[in-house]
Amino acid sequence: MNGRAGILLAVRAALGACALALGGCAWDVPTSTLVGRSDLAHAILHVYAIITWTTAIIGTLVFVVLAIIVVRFRARPGDTALPAQIRGHTLLEMSWTIGPALALLIIAIPTIQVVFRTQSAATPPNALQVTVRGWQWWWEFHYPELELVTANELHLPAGRPVVLRLDGPDVIHSFWVPKLGGKRDVIPGRLNHITLTPDTPGEYWGQCAEFCGASHANMGMRVVVDSAADFDTWVARQKAPPAEPAGAAATGKTIFAGSACVGCHTIDGVSAGVLGPNLTHFGSRTMLAGGMWPNTPENVAEWVKDPQRLKPGVKMPTLGLTDDQAKAIAAYLSGLK
C-alpha cells in the first residue's frame, strides 16, 4: 500500500507541479488517469511515474542549458568579434548519443514487463466474464454466466478478477474507464480483452475514446464496483421480473407495448427488441441515454419525446408523442427498478 501511495504521489507531483502552483487543482476528478482503482491501473501508474520523472529530468536539463545560453552568450552591443569557430566534438557527441539510449532503458524495461504482465493470455480461474458491446452511441453489458443484460451501467464486484470481452456490432469504439485502467478498442470483427481486478467499491466514470460518429461525445458509461455482497444483491434484483406498473405507469406500459419502442428494446415479458438498450431494469440505473444525464422521470420524458435534442444523430426515432404520453412512458420506465 505504501509503495502504491508513493507512486501516486510521484505521478501527481511531477505532472501537476505547474497546475498546483496555479491554484491547487484537484486531480481526483471522476475520470482521472492519475488515480488507480484496479490492479491494471496501478501497474500502469508504476510505469507512468518512472517515465514522468525521467522525461521531466531530461526536459529540465535542456531548459536549464538553454536558459544559460540565452543569458550568457548574447552578443554585447558593438561586439563584432567572431566567437571560436568550433565545428564539433566527437566525444561529446558520442556521449549524448549513448547517454539518452541508456536513459531509455530505464523506461523500456518496466514498460515491457508491464506490457506482458497486463496482456497475459491466461484467464484468472475465478474471473467474472462480461461481454461489452459498443453501439452508436451506448454500451451493452452481457453477463453470460449470470444470464443478465444491461446497458451503460456496468456492475462489478470488488476484489474479483473480471475479463471484459470487447465486441463491436457497428463501428469502432474504445472502452475507457480511466480509474480502472487503460482503454482498449472495441472493433467489429475482432475480439479484444481487458483483464482487471477492481479493488475499491465506488462509482467510476467512463466514456468512448475512439471517434465513432455524431454523438461520440455522448457515449458515456458508469462502472459501479460493489462489495461482493452488494453485487450479489444487485444480481438478484436484476434477475427478478420488473415490478408490475400501476396508475400513469400502467398507461405508459400500454403506450410502450403498442408503439415502435418494442422493435428495438427488450423489457422482459413485454418486448424482445435487440437494437437498443435492454430496459428491463431501466429504473435501477442512475444515468440515462449513454450515461450522460441523470435518470429522472423528467429527463426520461424529455428524452423519449425528442431524443435528437439530447443526443444528436441518435438512432432512436422521434415518435411524435404528446407530453402526457411521454410522461406516462417515463413513469413506467422509471418504475422498472
Partner 1 sequence: MATPHDVAGAQPASAFTGATTAGARHPALATTRSWLTTVDHKRIGILYGVSAFAFLLLGGLEALLIRTQLLRPQLGVVSAEFYNALFTMHGTTMIFLAVMPLNAAFFNYIVPLMIGARDVAFPRLNALSYWIFLAGGLFLNASFLFGTPPDVGWFGYANLTTLPFSPGPAVDFWMLSVQILGVSSIISSVNFIATVLNMRAPGMTLMRMPLFVWMTLVVQFLIVLAFPAVTVGLIFLMFDRFLGTHFFDVAAGGDLHLWQHLFWIFGHPEVYILILPAFGIVSEVLPTFSRKPLFGAPVVIYSGVLIGFFGFGVWSHHMFAVGMGPVADAAFSIATMLIAVPTGVKIFNWLATMWGGRIRPSVAFHYAAGLVALFTIGGLSGIMHASPPVDLQQHDSYFVVAHLHYVLIGGSLFGIFAGLYYWWPKMTGRLLDERFGKLQFWVFAIGFNVAFFPQHFLGALGMPRRIYTYHRGSGWELWNFVSTIGAYVLGLGVLLFLIEAMRSLRHGARAPADPWDGRTLEWRTSSPPPVHDFDAIPPVYGRDSFWREKHGDSRGQRPAPRPPTPDPHGIHLPSPSFWPIVVASGLGIAAFGAIGFLLGPLVVALFLALVRMYHRDFTPGETRVPAVPGLPSTPAGEAVDKAGD
Please count the residues of this chain forming the interface with partner 1, following the rule CB under 8 A. Answer: 93
Report the nearest approach of partner 1 to the CB of residue 185 (Å): 5
What mask of x and - would describe binding to partner 1 in positions 203 to 242, judged by CB under 8 A? --x-xxxxxxxxxxxx------------------------
Region class of 88: left (phi > 0), else alpha (psi between -120 and 50), else beta: left
Q: Which of 9, 29, 243, 272 binds partner 1 (CB under 8 A)?
A: 29
Nearer of residues 206 and 277 to partner 1, judged by Cβ: 206
Residue 130's nearest CA partner among 120, 140, 121 is: 140
Nearer of residues 11 and 261 to partner 1, judged by Cβ: 11
172 interacts with partner 1 by CB under 8 A: yes
Asked if residue 27 lies in contact with residue 35, where contact means CB atoms within 8 angstroms, the answer is: yes
Q: Applying CB under 8 A, which part among 26-34, 155-163, 224-232, 273-281 lies near partner 1?
A: 26-34
Report the run of H or E that residue 207 belongs to, with start and end: strand 202-207
Q: Which of residues 115-144 bind partner 1 (CB under 8 A)?
A: 115-116, 118-119, 136
Asked if residue 158 lies in contact with residue 225, where contact means CB atoms within 8 angstroms, the answer is: yes
What mask of x and - would describe binding to partner 1 in positions 288 to 307, judged by CB under 8 A? ----x---------------
Name residue 72's amino acid: R
Q: For the purposes of burial, counting CB atoms within 10 Å of the CB of 199, is it exposed (0-12), middle (13-18) or buried (19 or more)? A: middle
Nearer of residues 32 and 284 to partner 1, judged by Cβ: 32
Asked if residue 52 lies in contact with residue 45, where contact means CB atoms within 8 angstroms, the answer is: no
Q: Applying CB under 8 A, which part among 53-61, 228-236, 245-253, 321-329 lies near partner 1?
A: 53-61
Nearer of residues 51 and 270 to partner 1, judged by Cβ: 51
DSSP string, 294-326: E--HHHHHHHHH-HHHHSTT-SSPP----HHHH
Q: Which of 183, 222, 281, 305 binds partner 1 (CB under 8 A)?
A: 183
| Gap between the Cα atoms of 182 and 192, Å rounded | 13
| Gap between the Cα atoms of 324 and 45, Å rounded | 51
Q: Which of 17, 25, 228, 275 binds partner 1 (CB under 8 A)?
A: 25
Nearer of residues 308 and 322 to partner 1, judged by Cβ: 308
* Omega prior to 137 cis, within 30 of 0: yes
Report the nearest approach of partner 1 to the CB of residue 98 (Å): 9
280 interacts with partner 1 by CB under 8 A: no
Q: Applying CB under 8 A, which part among 55-63, 264-272, 278-286, 317-325 lies near partner 1?
A: 55-63
322 interacts with partner 1 by CB under 8 A: no
Which grid cell sits at 118?
497486463
Neighbours of 209 (CB within 10 A): 19
Nearer of residues 6 and 59 to partner 1, judged by Cβ: 59
Q: Which of 97, 122, 125, 229 binds partner 1 (CB under 8 A)?
A: 97
Q: Which of 87, 126, 145, 320 binds partner 1 (CB under 8 A)?
A: 87
C-alpha 131 chain-centroid distance = 16
